[in-house]
Amino acid sequence: MKGDDKVAKVIVRESEVEGARREPPRVSKILISEHTVGAKQISMGTNVTEPGSRIPLHKHTDSEEAMFVISGKGKLICDGKEYDLTPGTAIFSPVGVEHEIINTGDEPFKIVWAYAPPLPEHLKK
């Protein structure tokens, strides 16, 4: 059996994915999900937040979230505490913990994010 027979797709190129523009100004791309590659236990993507913008305060009631800073400078506010973010920093957000990220630099702030289990909108209905 060839590899192609088992799985329809195993790689996704970020450059080929159209991002969803959100407010405050940022773009999120879902790279790994049930919709893109059939993943049912995890989802992963990128988020690019414009200078002076943010990922607003929120929490996930059923998923853990891991993030990794690719570029830019930012600040994480998590459970009332502040943390400086620079490239190479990994972030973990437990289920139910409020968090937000603010771009504190003068260039776009880029992270890779992953959810386990995936958010409901990352799964087929």
CB 73 within 8 A of CB 114: no
Report helix, strand or coil for 75.
strand
Q: What is the pLDDT of residues 1-21, one digit of tens each?
A: 344 455 568 999 999 999 999
Q: What angle do CA 101, 24, 76 make, to 5 degrees?
A: 5
118 pLDDT band (50/70/90 cuts)?
A: very high
- β-strand partners of 20: 28
The whole-model pTM stands at: 0.91
- Identity at 86, one-letter amino acid code: T
> Any residues with CB less than 8 A from the CB of 37 and at least 6 apart, and which?
7, 8, 9, 10, 12
Q: Which two tokens stand for residue 46?
A: 């990128």
At the topology level, CATH places domain 22-122 in: Jelly Rolls (2.60.120)
Residue spans of the domains in the chain: they are 22-122
